[in-house]
Amino acid sequence: MSPSRLAKVLSACAVISALTTPVAVAHGGGHHHDHGGHDHGRTIPGYRADEAAVIGEEHAEEHARLRMALQAQGEYPQPTRDARFKMLTDTQKTNNAKFDPSVFGRFTGYFPSKDFGDHVALLPTGKVLLFSFERVETDPTKEPAPTNVIGAQNAGRAYLWDPAKGQGADAFTAVPPPKVTPPDGTGISRPAPFFCSGHSFLPNGMLGVYGGNIGGNGGTGAKLSLIFNPWNEKWSQNEDMAVGRWYPSVVTGADGRQLIMSGQSEMGWGTPTPLVERFPAKNVPVPLDKSPLPSFQKVQPFKADAPFTLDYPHLFSLNDGKIYGFGRQPAEQWSFDINDETRADLPARPDSKDRNYGAAVPLPNGVNGPDSVMVLGGNRDDPNTYEFSGGAWKTSPEKRAFGRTQDDTIILPNGRLLTVNGAHDIRDYGNGALNPNSHQKYRQIELRDDNGKWKLGPMQRLPRGYHSNAVVLPDGRVMVTGDELQQLANDDNINDDNNGTIEIYEPPYLNRGPRPDLGTTYSGPTQYGNWFSAESTDMNRVTKAVLLSPTTSTHSVNTSQRYVELRILGRHTSYHWPDGTTSKNMLQLQAPYSANTAPPGWYMLFLLDEDGTPSTAKWVQLVPRKG
């Protein structure tokens, strides 16, 4: 049979099987069922027990043979993509009809993206930087990333998406990374292969990106040190780091400097580096303004090491000014003093299990800034959430509906938490590795309310696991993207250059009454402890003013998340400035007292009413006190 004929037969049946498979709903606390092909004694490769349950064993065996025949022909048929995507579209629609948008929110957008979005950063211009790698594979049943690819094909790519320009191709602009010639023996220059790097923001809104993979040895750490400048939309390159890092984490401390930890070294997979590096170096001023940085600045070694045995640790700057490093291995929990450059042991996480990539989030703590962190993702068998607070761990009384790995949990402008994305394992959505067929449950979002209770909500269109991301936009919507495997598996035209997709989720607060107004806001740099103005025609309805940090994330690591309330010092119907001008309906908001509460940098200011409905955001910048 020809490949297209094979594909037609299979996809015709696939639609039937997909549509008759019961949708959604958790199996309950971490129960797993292996659909890998060994159930009922069936050993035919490609056999799926879940399919057999719907269409019968013989028919499922027939499918298995067709599937293997297709695989042997080395291509993934467009009709299979189309059938799969139709199933996901239909099940999303059916399932989500039962969720009241004012309680659970709703998914409102799905559109093509120029990039896979394996790495994302919301920039202080309101644009989103998306980056990953040039496509090396179109078949989602094969490893889709250039992990072992050496040479020209292993190249980075980056795009800006401007939400103000909508959802079409015009809203995307290519911003390729600098060309480099990696030390891979080929001598070939190409856009920097920075996928699976680590990143965080500098106090001037620029993004520092460290590491990457030059290919081979199961992933060979790149020494790349790059800066993306959101103000002129250009990259610059620094001097290389001392070591290669693939899967490092980067965090910005209260001093405005970045610490770079972990990552598989230039020796390849299985050689995580304990070396910690810092940018900028201590004798170089921290960048505060928008002027481009000089190229080839140095990173600097940090005295203490960070011997994480598993990569991509969660790093956060908490309100005592220390960096907290929560390793995926339970005993690898440390704090770092950024002034003394020392490391101290923290108690072991109580779950006693290594965790996969999964979410962690610093919890809102009023005007004081975060002093505790919730670790919740990364173990599909564990629905518990763990809180590190006051130097000790506790297991929270409230669980999620089920455990997830590769999930993202982000803080919304009302201080509540949203979990999106998730999978069974890396490249495994519950039906075996490199099988795009996913357990439906991983498509359901989960929301945490003010009492800490979690509830499942509507489904996203695609299952998104490994390399997925989510970002709160300044208008309060949430952008969901990432996971090149699912994007390739559901692409409506694999031959065009739109390989990625973005989904938009509107939280419940966008589906209730009118939002509080936020007008002109002081947009210059604000020193810690000073007050600044924000105008609102709903001034008297406003109960809270909050700073929400823009986030940059990958692999469920999101070190920049932060939620800080501001003191409202005054409400003025009419305020007369010393220069003779007047502001109407003006709130007087006080910046946090110290960088320990919120490190220097750009933040989104939201005003909230008593129902927790946020305004759209305005950008403000916190800077150190002068003198």
**Binding residues vs Cu ion (CB under 5 A):** 196
As measured in angstroms, the least distance from the Cβ of 306 to Cu ion is 20
Cβ count within 10 A of residue 376: 29
Give the C-alpha separation, 565 to 60, whole Å: 56
As measured in angstroms, the least distance from the Cβ of 555 to Cu ion is 6
As measured in angstroms, the least distance from the Cβ of 467 to Cu ion is 6
As measured in angstroms, the least distance from the Cβ of 483 to Cu ion is 11
As measured in angstroms, the least distance from the Cβ of 500 to Cu ion is 15
Report phi then psi at 202, rounded to 5. -90, 165
As measured in angstroms, the least distance from the Cβ of 136 to Cu ion is 14
Closer residue to Cu ion in complex, CB, 196/361: 196
Tokens standing for residue 80: 């299979």
Closer residue to Cu ion in complex, CB, 195/334: 195
As measured in angstroms, the least distance from the Cβ of 144 to Cu ion is 11
Closer residue to Cu ion in complex, CB, 196/286: 196
Write the CB contacts of 176 (distance below 8 Å, at least 6 apart in sequence).
Answer: 156, 157, 158, 191, 235
Give the C-alpha separation, 578 to 573, whole Å: 17
Residue nearest to Cu ion (CB): 196
User: What is the 3-class SS of 416-466, one letter each residue?
Assistant: CEEEECCECECCECCCCECECCCCHHHHEEEEECCCCCEEEEEECCCCCCC
Closer residue to Cu ion in complex, CB, 134/446: 134
As measured in angstroms, the least distance from the Cβ of 278 to Cu ion is 24
Write the CB contacts of 145 (distance below 8 Å, at least 6 apart in sequence).
Answer: 133, 136, 137, 195, 196, 467, 484
Closer residue to Cu ion in complex, CB, 156/592: 156
Closer residue to Cu ion in complex, CB, 286/485: 485
As measured in angstroms, the least distance from the Cβ of 193 to Cu ion is 12
As measured in angstroms, the least distance from the Cβ of 116 to Cu ion is 11
Taking alpha carbons only, the member of 360, 384, 357, 383 closest to residue 373 is 360
Report phi then psi at 78, rounded to 5. -55, -40
Closer residue to Cu ion in complex, CB, 194/393: 194
| Contact between 269 and 215 (Cβ < 8 Å) | no
Tokens standing for residue 567: 């003191």
As measured in angstroms, the least distance from the Cβ of 554 to Cu ion is 7
Closer residue to Cu ion in complex, CB, 55/196: 196
Closer residue to Cu ion in complex, CB, 297/356: 356
Beta-bridge partner residues of 608:
544, 614
Any idea what DSSP says for residue 210? E
Give the C-alpha separation, 615 to 499, whole Å: 33
For residue 234, what are the CA distances in angstroms to 14, 225, 231, 289, 504? 45, 14, 8, 15, 27
The enclosing H or E element of 545 equals strand 542-548
Report phi then psi at 136, rounded to 5. -115, -5
Give the C-alpha separation, 370 to 298, whole Å: 31
As measured in angstroms, the least distance from the Cβ of 139 to Cu ion is 18
As measured in angstroms, the least distance from the Cβ of 236 to Cu ion is 24
Give the C-alpha separation, 518 to 618, whole Å: 8
- Half-sphere exposure in the Cβ direction for 360 (13 Å, CA): 27
Closer residue to Cu ion in complex, CB, 196/568: 196
Query: Using omega within 30 degrees of 0 as the cis cutoff, is the peptide bond preceding 280 cis?
Result: yes
Taking alpha carbons only, the member of 180, 187, 186, 188 closest to residue 197 is 180
As measured in angstroms, the least distance from the Cβ of 219 to Cu ion is 8
Cβ count within 10 A of residue 624: 17
List the strands of the sheet with 531-535, edge to edge: 525-527, 618-623, 601-609, 542-548, 563-576, 582-590, 531-535
164-172 LR contacts (CB < 8 Å, sep 24+): 164/126, 167/109, 167/111, 167/502, 168/111, 169/112, 169/114, 169/498, 172/113, 172/114
Closer residue to Cu ion in complex, CB, 553/588: 553
Closer residue to Cu ion in complex, CB, 319/406: 406
As measured in angstroms, the least distance from the Cβ of 439 to Cu ion is 21
Closer residue to Cu ion in complex, CB, 196/209: 196
Closer residue to Cu ion in complex, CB, 484/565: 484
| Contact between 154 and 186 (Cβ < 8 Å) | no
For residue 563, what are the CA distances in angstroms to 98, 100, 245? 31, 27, 29
Closer residue to Cu ion in complex, CB, 200/356: 356
User: What amino acid occupies position 310?
Assistant: L
Closer residue to Cu ion in complex, CB, 105/263: 263
As measured in angstroms, the least distance from the Cβ of 196 to Cu ion is 4
